[in-house]
Amino acid sequence: MKIAIVNDMPMAIEGLRRVVENAGIHQVAWIAFNGYEAIEACRRDVPDLVLMDIIMPGINGVETTREIMRESPCPILLVTSSVNTNSALVFEAMGYGALDAVNTPVLVGGNACDPQSPLLKKIAMLNILTQPVPPGFHSHVTVAQSKKSPLTSGSLIAIGSSSGGPQALATILQSIPGDFHSPIVIVQHVDAQFVSGLAEWLNTLSNIPVRIACDGDRPVAGVVFLAGSNDHLLLAEDGTFRYSPIPRDTPYRPSVDVFWQSLEQHWKGNITVVLLTGMGRDGARSMLSLRQYGAHTIAQNEETCAVYGMPKAAIDMNAAIEILPVDDIAISLLGTANGARSAGR
């Protein structure tokens, strides 16, 4: 990959440069010392990936991300030493299309250059996500051919999102009233270390409580559950949430497809699934399967997506019944929860 580095600290730049070059499979495309330089450099030479600092003088990583995604869209990974103390800025930048965030590596004993270092693992994952989909691509989870006896009932709303997702989720949850009568389960592509901050941030904006889904929890009406692990969230046969590391080889962790396919197996009430902004194809195939199973399916439209990848994949497969701007999705969900729409099951 051709990787660009945006950082105002010479020591951080040198550390990132060493990690990228010592990996042996990447090269540094260019280096920018501030946001203005990065925006201009992207106009001239769009890299395969940008390693973006959050805190910089003049124009910070949030505004730089917004401008790059508007003018010269490309994958952006937030790399900063202050990620835990600036989680709101991280989520804001992800709202503009940044894919994920990781702490700046500390070069002690060469550990940062290990292929299993957090930074290089993130780069490897994003490299997979940005590749063309190979022929015969399919989800790793097989839906059971025979359905078990109903263990769950009522309506459930499941939302999948990735880059740009935090802001889209905030927009939807701000429009959901406090007396909402369905559980909402969100699978957002974000590293586990940031999930608690995302839940807290969304909770300040939402009219209904936002919680991290824990092993053994059950979907509860009027509560938002957020996948909270780098393992995959599942709805188990007994109607409780479970986490599983399998499938191990999917680049999406947690995976929308894995959770949605578990819903098809074990949730017998009405299902509405929503696929929001994000890079890649996660959720597309399971959305199609759920539509055929009788669920109501919604994809965010291109105009309001920060990254039109996941919804486009679903729309191209004719998996989406509705294609809506993000501001209208909550209205559709209210109709679902109030029984205005049959799931056709």
Q: Show which residues are catalytic.
A: 162, 189, 282
Length of the chain (residues) = 345
Closest-CA residue to 198 (of 165, 174, 171, 230): 165
C-alpha dihedral sign at 114, 246, 242, 171: positive
Q: Could you tell me if 64 and 35 are in contact, meaning their C-beta atoms sit under 8 angstroms apart?
A: yes
Burial label, 204 (beta-carbon count in 10 A; 0-12, 13-18, 19+): exposed
Q: What is the DSSP string of 100-155?
A: EEEEPPP-STTGGGSTTSHHHHHHHHHHHHTSPPPTT---SPPPPSSPPPP---SE
135-160 in b/e form (b: 16+ CB < 10 A) is eeeebebebeeeeeeeebeebbbbbb
Give the C-alpha separation, 17 to 31, whole Å: 9
Q: Which two tokens stand for residue 245?
A: 């590391």
Q: Could you tell me if 235 and 259 are in contact, meaning their C-beta atoms sit under 8 angstroms apart?
A: yes
Phi (first) and psi of residue 211, to 5 degrees: -130, 155
What does each C-alpha distance from 262 to 240, 251, 267 come to in angstroms? Answer: 11, 18, 8
User: DSSP character for 308?
Assistant: B
